[in-house]
A and B are shown apart, each in its own frame.
Chain A
Amino acid sequence: MIEAWVDRGTYFMTMLLLVLGLYGIILKRNLVKKLIGLNIFQTAIFLFFIQGSTKFGATVPVVDSRLGTGAMNYVNPLPHALILTAIVVSVAITGVALALLITIYRRYRSLDERILLERMRQSS
């Protein structure tokens, strides 16, 4: 029972980061803080995948001539490639979200959720 928790302890910390990111997205009123919560959520997903790719007694996935090409000496390279793609997608999402936030601020002069909803109701 305790071995199950100790073997998977780092996975549980990743899940805590995930819930902290969700807390930021749902419960904060400022739009920039919601964007930061989204970034924390994405970082938790990256950490989860990279933890799942380790092996005991293995080294980085760069072929070393002293170790040969056996599959047990190297860490699984496939999640690393997936996470590189995901990091670039995260950068693209943050860029477009910041552009949208600038446009919203220019139009409504506020970045707070409740004030924005009131001004949108007044202007429509």
Chain B
Amino acid sequence: MKWFSLIILGAFLALVVYAGGDLPALGDPESPSHVHVSPSYIEGSIPETRTPNIVTAVLADYRGYDTLGETLVIVTAGLAVLLILPRGALRRIR
């Protein structure tokens, strides 16, 4: 069983390395992830939002809806731990 899993992991590594040959070269300025929407974020950061830190402007203003969902995720995780391991008044209810 253990050898079978190791062979599967080795095959997975070979497959991923073979597929990595199609990736664009490291640092290429013309790769497809750099040309579509991120130049508009870089150039519009100072005139539209007056924040020099482009990552904060993207996280809190241009993609603020995703940050709302993510804050909801961390508050839900806190709530889940509060219900799984109660202490104090909640422990008497359980």
Contacts and interface: CB of A to CB of B under 8 A. Distances in A.
Interface string A46-63: 000001111110100111
Contacts of B41: 77-78
A81 B63 contact: yes
B42 A61 contact: yes
B26 A11 contact: yes
A99 B54 CA distance: 36
Nearest to B85: A99
Contacts of A26: 5, 9
Interface of A: 4, 7-8, 10-12, 15-16, 18-19, 22-23, 26-27, 51-56, 58, 61-64, 69-72, 74, 76-81, 84-85, 88-89, 91-93, 95-96, 99-100, 102-103
Nearest to A51: B26
Chain B's interface: helix, strand, loop or mixed, by majority? helix
Contact of A62 (B5, B21, B54, B74): B54
Most buried by A among B6, B37, B43, B78: B43
B85 A62 contact: no
Contact of A10 (B5, B26, B52, B53): B26
Contacts of B84: 96, 99-100, 103
19 contacts: A8-B26, A12-B20, A16-B13, A18-B16, A23-B9, A55-B29, A61-B42, A61-B55, A62-B52, A62-B53, A63-B45, A69-B42, A74-B54, A77-B38, A80-B55, A81-B63, A88-B74, A92-B74, A99-B80
Contacts of B29: 55-56, 58, 72
A22 B27 contact: no
B89 interface: no
